């Protein structure tokens, strides 16, 4: 069969020939195994962290029917190569010093890989690293991928180990180098050839089709919806599920949009055993927006829930009756009253106790505080006293009140006990001199987003550290809880900036 072997190696980036694999394996064509052109890919990196580490070498075997082309290049990662990695791969800082950066090769590699089935041993690793490197270069890469670890397990279930080292040893695959990108890609290529000889091309092709098959949760869905779901990216963001007639059904968020959305369909297939919200009607389409991180995704989710009021979001059904408890003095007693955010600027009001979605929630809390602390229910306003003033409350008769209602407990003592019971509910004072921004930074691209707050009021978000804010200002219970929790424990990849 015709064979074109190109190998871009070394510091100078020149082309040189490499020895072809064993003739017995090269003589067979892999064409019947693939329904489309494919690329077998292997990478060497500075480590295993998909965001912080970088690629040091790329090896690609392109298969187009009977035509096989090989490409490899060292890559300057822009950061030191750890000694452990150098010892394993043989790639040193000196070797990559004059090598091209990934950005220098990005457009060429994207052209090379686009429209091809992406194969790799542990494809999630190689595919994820490449996607991140392309994102740093301002390019978007998405391809159908096939993990040859999964393929090996399906083809040879009798074996326990399916690592590349195991395959190399089991099938006596002889390579000039190990833990070099093109050599490892070559090992995968030869494994496919050996499997075809042992099991037959039809069996290998069927196994590949099974591994590539749409996830079970997508089976039976309309083709148009399946196409939408296949485009879901592996990044943080917010999604909205719509019914067949365009009605908003559910809004959610996730650190990985693809995984999160597909989980809804898995919940349906699994008979409701998943913890995902069960949506008992057909989904017609999915829309999503990417975010830099989960903090921004949470804020955007809240905005969309309030705007769309989707049928299956509990928060979307709640009335906008944000309220709190404020204290006032009447008849010598400190008495709680329910106040509403629509009437009072909570962001500039001190001494509020608790934030509630409904007045009934506030009154329920007051009733629980009264019972739990033997406070007078009539003084707290949770019992309507219809008899004459100074009559005992119902709790006094049951021994659950110390007699403030009849003058037995002095007002100042009752006040102190009430303040003590309410202390844990007190809305925290704004701890800054002015507005702040929660800054999210994308570890891969370095892009930044700012989410601006002042006195617990969410003012909006923006890209970078300047420009107009997007989103309507609001004092919202959910955004308050989000920020308060973040201040206690900031998430990785975020920082505080005082404005």
- 3-state secondary structure labels for all residues of 159-220: CCCCCHHHHHHHCCCCCCCCCCHHHHHHHHHHHHHHHHHHHCHHHHHHHHHHHHCCCHHHCC
Q: Are residues 24 and 171 in the same domain?
A: yes
> Which CB contacts under 8 angstroms, 24+ apart, belong to 417-423?
417/373, 417/375, 418/334, 418/336, 418/369, 418/373, 418/375, 418/379, 418/380, 419/327, 419/334, 420/373, 421/369, 421/372, 421/373, 421/375, 422/325, 422/327, 422/336, 422/353, 422/369
Q: What is the pLDDT of residue 474?
A: 75
Angle at 275 between CA 274 and CA 276, to 5 degrees: 90
The CATH number linked to 241 is 3.40.1440.10
pLDDT at 12 over 70: no
In this structure, is residue 105 part of a structural domain? yes
In this structure, is residue 85 part of a structural domain? yes
Q: Are residues 298 and 254 in the same domain?
A: yes
Q: What is the pLDDT of residue 494?
A: 93
Domain span at 299: 216-317
82 DSSP assignment: P
Q: What is the pLDDT of residue 445?
A: 75
Q: Are residues 236 and 373 in the same domain?
A: no
98 DSSP assignment: T
Question: If pLDDT is split at 50, 70 and 90, which confidence band does 314 have?
Answer: confident
Q: What is the pLDDT of residue 324?
A: 92
474 DSSP assignment: B
What is the C-alpha to C-alpha distance for residues 18 and 8, in angstroms, rounded to an integer? 10
In this structure, is residue 2 part of a structural domain? no
* Strand bridging mode 14-15 / 448-454: unpaired
Q: Are residues 69 and 166 in the same domain?
A: yes
With beta carbons less than 8 A apart as the criterion, state whether 129 and 59 touch. Answer: no
- pLDDT 10s digits, 66-77: 789 999 999 999
DSSP bridge pairs for 254 = 237
In this structure, is residue 430 part of a structural domain? no
Q: Outline where 17-81 has alpha helix (H).
A: 23-26
Domain end, chosen from 317, 352, 380, is at 317
pLDDT at 461 over 50: yes
Angle at 30 between CA 27 and CA 36, to 5 degrees: 150
Q: Are residues 206 and 71 in the same domain?
A: yes
With beta carbons less than 8 A apart as the criterion, state whether 2 and 23 touch. Answer: no
Question: If pLDDT is split at 50, 70 and 90, which confidence band does 440 have?
Answer: very high
In this structure, is residue 171 part of a structural domain? yes
Q: What is the pLDDT of residue 283?
A: 86
In this structure, is residue 84 part of a structural domain? yes
What is the C-alpha to C-alpha distance for residues 309 and 320, in angstroms, rounded to an integer? 12
Q: What share of the chain has pLDDT > 70, as a percent? A: 87
- pLDDT 10s digits, 350-402: 889 988 988 888 999 998 998 889 998 888 888 765 445 667 888 888 888 89
pLDDT at 202 over 80: yes
Q: Is 373 helix (H, G, I), strand (E, B) or coil?
A: helix
pLDDT at 188 over 90: yes
Q: Are residues 304 and 355 in the same domain?
A: no
pLDDT at 26 over 50: no
In this structure, is residue 464 part of a structural domain? yes
- pLDDT 10s digits, 463-493: 877 778 887 777 888 888 899 999 999 988 8
Overall domain count for the chain: 4
Q: Are residues 386 and 274 in the same domain?
A: no
Q: Are residues 283 and 228 in the same domain?
A: yes
With beta carbons less than 8 A apart as the criterion, state whether 40 and 188 touch. Answer: yes
Nearest of 452, 497, 493, 455 to residue 472 by alpha carbon: 452
Q: Are residues 35 and 64 in the same domain?
A: yes
In this structure, is residue 431 part of a structural domain? no
Q: What is the pLDDT of residue 27?
A: 35
Domain end, chosen from 192, 212, 232, is at 212
Q: Are residues 83 and 191 in the same domain?
A: yes
Q: Are residues 21 and 92 in the same domain?
A: yes
The CATH number linked to 66 is 3.30.420.10
Q: Are residues 127 and 186 in the same domain?
A: yes
Domain end, chosen from 370, 400, 425, is at 425
What is the C-alpha to C-alpha distance for residues 374 and 391, in angstroms, rounded to an integer? 17
């Amino acid at each position: 069969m015709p064979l074109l072997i190109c190998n871009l190696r070394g510091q100078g980036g020149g082309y040189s020939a490499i020895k072809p694999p064993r003739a017995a394996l090269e003589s067979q064509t892999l064409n019947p195994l693939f329904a489309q052109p494919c690329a077998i890919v292997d990478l060497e990196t500075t480590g295993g962290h998909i965001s912080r580490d970088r690629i040091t070498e790329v090896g690609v075997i392109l298969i187009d029917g009977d035509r096989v082309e090989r490409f490899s290049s060292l890559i300057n990662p822009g950061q030191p190569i750890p000694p452990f990695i150098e010892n394993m791969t043989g790639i040193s800082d000196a070797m990559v010093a004059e090598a091209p950066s990934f950005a220098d090769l990005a457009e060429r590699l994207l052209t090379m890989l686009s429209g091809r089935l992406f194969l790799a041993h542990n494809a999630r690793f190689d595919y994820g690293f490449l996607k991140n490197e392309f994102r740093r270069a301002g390019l978007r890469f998405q391809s159908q991928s096939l993990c040859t670890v999964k393929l090996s397990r399906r083809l040879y279930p009798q074996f326990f180990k399916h690592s590349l080292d195991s395959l190399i040893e089991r099938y006596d695959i002889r390579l000039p180098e190990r833990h070099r990108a093109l050599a490892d890609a070559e090992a995968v290529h030869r494994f496919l050839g050996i499997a075809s000889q042992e099991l037959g091309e039809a069996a290998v092709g069927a196994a590949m089709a099974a591994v590539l098959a749409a996830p079970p949760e997508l089976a039976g869905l309309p083709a148009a919806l399946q196409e939408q779901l296949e485009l879901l990216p592996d990044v943080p963001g917010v999604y909205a599920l719509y019914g067949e007639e365009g009605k908003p059904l559910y809004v959610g968020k996730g650190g990985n949009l693809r995984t999160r959305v597909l989980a809804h369909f898995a919940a349906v297939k699994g008979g409701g055993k998943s913890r995902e919200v069960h949506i008992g009607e057909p989904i017609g389409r999915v829309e999503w927006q990417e975010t830099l991180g989960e903090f921004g995704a949470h804020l955007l989710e809240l905005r969309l829930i309030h705007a769309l009021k989707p049928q299956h979001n509990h928060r979307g059904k709640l009335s906008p009756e944000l309220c709190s408890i404020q204290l006032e003095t009447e008849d010598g007693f400190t008495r709680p009253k329910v106040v509403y955010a629509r009437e009072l600027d909570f962001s500039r009001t001190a001494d509020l106790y608790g934030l509630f979605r409904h007045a009934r929630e506030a009154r329920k809390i007051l009733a629980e505080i009264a019972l739990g602390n033997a406070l007078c229910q009539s003084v707290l306003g949770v019992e309507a006293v219809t008899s004459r003033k100074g009559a005992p409350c119902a709790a006094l008769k049951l021994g659950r009140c110390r007699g403030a209602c009849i003058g037995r407990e002095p007002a100042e003592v009752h006040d102190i006990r009430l303040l003590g019971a309410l202390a844990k509910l007190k809305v925290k004072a704004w701890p800054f001199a002015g507005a702040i921004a929660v800054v999210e930074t994308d570890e891969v691209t370095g892009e930044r987003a700012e989410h601006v707050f002042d006195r617990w009021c969410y003012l909006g978000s923006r890209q970078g550290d300047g420009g107009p804010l997007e989103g309507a200002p609001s004092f919202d219970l959910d955004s308050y809880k989000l920020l308060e929790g973040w201040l206690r424990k900031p998430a990785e990849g975020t920082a505080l900036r005082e404005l």
